[in-house]
Structure 1
Amino acid sequence: MNERIRKILSLLIRNPELKMNDLTTKLSLTKRQINYAINTFNSELELKKIPKIKRNHSGDFEIPLEVIQMLTVEENKQNFYSIADGLSESDRAALILMLLVTDTGYVGLDHFIDLLDVSKSTIIEDLKKSEWLASKYELELVYDRINGYSLKGSEHRLLQLMSDMVHQHPIFQEDKVRDFLATNVSEEEIIHLIHGMEQMLHLSYSDESVDYLQSAARFLISRGLREKSNSDFLQERVSQTPEFKLLQILVSETSWQLNQKYLEWLTLLFLTSNIFEKKTTQDFDSDLQLRRLIHQMVEIFQNQTLIVIEDRESFERRILNHLRPACFRIRYNLSLGVYSLENLIQDSNHGILVELMKELITPIEKWLGKAFPEDELNLLSYYFGFQLTSHSKHQKQKPRAVVVCTNGVMVSKLMRESLKQLFPEIHFLASFSVRDFYHFEEDYDLVFTTTPLKTNLVQFIVDPIMSYKEQISLRYRVLSDLGIDQMDQAVDELIGIIQKHAKVSSLRNLKEELQYFLLQANNNTSLENHKVLPALTHYLKPNFITVINQPVIWQDAVKIACQPLLESRIIDERFYEDCIRQIKDVNYSGYLGSQTCIPHTTTDHGVLRDGVSLLISPEPIEFPGGHQVSLVMPLAFYDLTRHLRAINQIAAISENDELIQNLKQSDEVTSYQLIRQHT
């Protein structure tokens, strides 16, 4: 299967409504070229005794299921089909470069076209932008007619480019992008490495730094495992730092085979990461000179401003925690990253402090041999001022959470996306299976799980899919248990005021409604964002509903429910087989309400496109565990961030006993109309 036919098939599978004219526009090919590619491929299919691709009288392409399965096996469709969504020109150029950084070999033009899902002419323009960006780092985008594109130049500058791109492009902190670019290094291993460094150094990195390290460290290690060069690309040594020595220990406990130069750059990533809190008063011997310079800086500040700093020793240690990574960033020309300084710095006092800081920082600039750039100076000024005014206030770092689900990767990631929106006060790092959780549980502060776990961590048992009201209730419970939000006092005060002027018939209901109201009014949450996403009827078509009136066993019910999706090439047989395997598991939690089952799985088990179907049985069907099911609703989803609204609507339907009773008494057409009215 060549790249041209692969691209044609990819487009048709994702968009079966495309006609020949649409293909010519999207692929920048002529009708003759497309027909030739399909005819040539049909000849290959005929030799393998596989049904051929046909066009019906309406001009639609009909692709046999066997062909879709063939393409699915050969390509990692999940990555190819979801990474490109919503990328800007700048993001595409950065993604091209990052693919060349992590791949270490040559990448063909057709591979870029498939990955970014744009035309050849667009890719050519993107490559020009990539070439321009690479030139800023003295790197060259090289083209070989046989092999494709590669990135050539100093390894130091290449890794510098990689680090800056992670800072500047949020797409590199998306799970799907990280998983695609670094298949040889797992998310769990990187989080474990970061946590290991925090424990051994007795500190905690800021949330921004942890997010950065999850991507930058993973990409670096991925390249280091593939690149066998022994070139000395780091001019100044970092091997004498405590971070290097501790990383040597941690990396030796893994299967990674990194040469010293990549281990030194990995050290540099940690050295340049901002520290939220240092849990020891011990300083490294290598920091004595910087500590002396900070002492001089504070002395001059006190003399010029006549401000006496309380607990000066503690203040200087906190400034060291910020200045040390800043000095490493400046020494190695690494960018600060995105810290939204324009939102932090708004008052005139800060402007005065910046001017003063320009003078105070001079001795440290002489020691470094380099000047502080404006963004670093601004952040230092803000941090200095913040420590002066807030030293007595104890800042709390966001607790780090993991999501555990017994239903596999898809629902686990869906839960994580939903919980991230629900709890901006919590840092959700990963989503695991139960087995992986027990291996890495020490790296987290709390866990959201669909099943009780044997752990000492704070755990919250949650349903995999929650209605809007259930989300609000969970948010109130979690924030109250963690002491993050002092809601009770505000609610009690409001009730006291209301009782002075009105008669309250139900104090309990009033308190509950006030809690809901205050949580919804909190601007930090994104609970309403899901309303702009596609509704359930975007995925559930009228012909995807089946009503049966004869008794069936649960396996047959699932098969009948899946049949419309199978016939529409939204799933293949693997979907049904994996759903049956899951439902047999005693811990299966794919039930909503008391009468609904939602079979589902991931893209590597037969999900080809987006779609939802529905089987309605007036007589309950007995599923494993004694569940009496009347609605079987298979879910086939690709981009898990777009389906939250539809999922919430399914949850609401499953809780609506009156609607379910009406559905059980209706035919296919009426059932669809009822669902449309309620969504």
Structure 2
Amino acid sequence: MTFLDERSRKVLIHIVDNPAATGKELEQLLSLSRKQLSYTLDKVNDYLIGNGYTKIERQKTGKFTIPATVIEEFKTDQFTFEEASYIYSDKERLDLIVLILLCHQDELSTYDFTIELGISKNTFLSDLKKLHTYIHTNYGVSVLYSRKDGYNLIGSEYAKRELLIASIRKVLNMPNGSDVIKKICKIDVAELDEIHNDISEIEKKLQIQFTDERLKELPYILCLVIRRVHSGQLLDTIPEAFQHIIGTKEYSVTASLSNKYQIENQLERMFISAQIQISNIHYLKADEYKMEKKLMKAANEMITNFEDISCIQIKEREQLLEAVLQHCKPAFYRMKYNYHIENSILDMVLPQHSYLHEMVRKSSKPFAQLVGHEIVDDELVYLTVLFGAWLRKEGVLDIVEEKKRAVVVCTNGISVSNFLYVTLTELFPEIDFLTCLSIRGFQDFKEDYELVFSTVRLESEKTQFLVTPFLNEYSKQSFREKVLQEIEGVNLHRIQISSIVNIVEESATIHDKDQLIKDLKQYLSKEPNTKKEESILQRKREGILLSDLLNEKTIQISDKETDWKDAIRIASKPLLENKDIEERYVDKMITSICEEQPFIMIAEGVIIAHAGIDDGVNNVSMGILRMPSKISIHGYMNADIIVVLGTPDRTEHLTALYKFIEVTESNEKMRAIRQAKKVDEIVQVIRK
């Protein structure tokens, strides 16, 4: 609304508050000419489209077709549907026609549809033609007309049920959708309330809570399914996967509902049970049932896989696990029973999050194994949205999304190929290198990627960079600049340093302009001009050695008991004295353990305390405090070896960390560390 002028805002509000109003009535009410109203409506539609809404259409009758989402977003308290009628869109009318066809008791003629929907005969016949094509293609159902029986749907009862449920869901999303279904299907409020009470009993017995959306649609689904059963419209066949419902907790609990409504047919009982199993829920006691345990294991492994693939540790893992589990249970049954997902959001998500989607696909293998086949995209995309929302909440979505995907093609032997792959991976941390391939392997490679780094020119439409297997430091830097210029449009040599300085000068005071220009040139060129910078680059290339970090100065032995917080502070002391970390980094480590309780035990009795790369760390550093015996770490871990780790980026510390983990995996070395009397004995163990 911020970007609309006053007249446009008034037109939009009056249209959504009075859906039955005509253009002429609006002209009179707002004192506008026909041309002014037309111009203003164009501005309103530009605003709606620009903010992700569907535009308002003007009909030949002078009335307006207003998208339900627009009414929902912009209507005011002055508006009620009892006071004005809503003009249905073409797509909405198709779902209403389905409901009329499936819920009618008597013979249906063209007149019945035109009266119910307030449309002309020609409009109805046009809608019917579109509907026939859609339902025949997607459900195998056809519309048949005869003078004797009027209009009817022809097809299997199971297909009709699928169509019925899909239409119920879409109509409920229309403005005043509940009342529309009650009116068309002639559902009594008391009848609906009774079924709602039955659903509440099912929730209690299964110890679950349906989502608001599912609780909104389930009473209508069960009500109309029960009606079809009572009218003799029975299932004669259902997918084979439904046979597994018998014997489940849901089948047992919904038996009382079937008995209450005198449903004896076993296929119908299974169908009703399936409606409960595929329902999205807010809460479930996951450790109570066998299937939930399997889903819990799969969800847990899925998150672990995602962390490994993305190189990001999820902070609030338990909460994410619960959210993934709540999605996976109904998704499992939807795929098992081959239920359609209406209104797929795939096209909305993939253009912006295709990379994240592929990462989630790779991570979801445990869930796919449980289902018995690969997760279909229409289901997988909801997991993509879930992981994306979580990463956004934790502030790391951009880290995942920004990377382009690349493959390396090398005609040399495996050793040279691997060396080139590692070199490129280190040189371009902003690119996700998927794999190293031979030319034959490249021709057969099916995964999505955007870039190719190859030692020979290839026939490919992808962006391609020729590279030699062995790059010296100068050629590395020039090659990096060339690639970044190509994929990001950045030419570091063409950046005018003076222009940058002038921009800075407009908003800040520059104390030493010459030094600033010098520093910017050095930063943008990435060329080290001091021995210290060259040493840092060399260390990054070789990887930081564990012995560089753990030595006589950073290893301590304590012969007296102490509180865990003090233990972390003692282990941090050498790092603080060397200015590798700051006091706030120590405070953050302690706060993290108190508030988030991360599981930081890498081996029995060994914890690694750390904070984030932006929490006050200057250099890669590590300190150890060996205690005389195990102490409680905030009541959820016990450790006698306290390790403090600091790192200013996500990769520089990995070589040393892997070496330390190798030490902890040796029972002999850990025994020697625990029995050591002097610090230099521990140093010798680590250097072996």
Q: TM-score, normalised by structure 2?
A: 0.40
Which protein has the larger Cα radius of gyration, Structure 1 or Structure 2?
A: 2
Structure number with greater CO (CA < 8 Å, separation at least 6) is 1
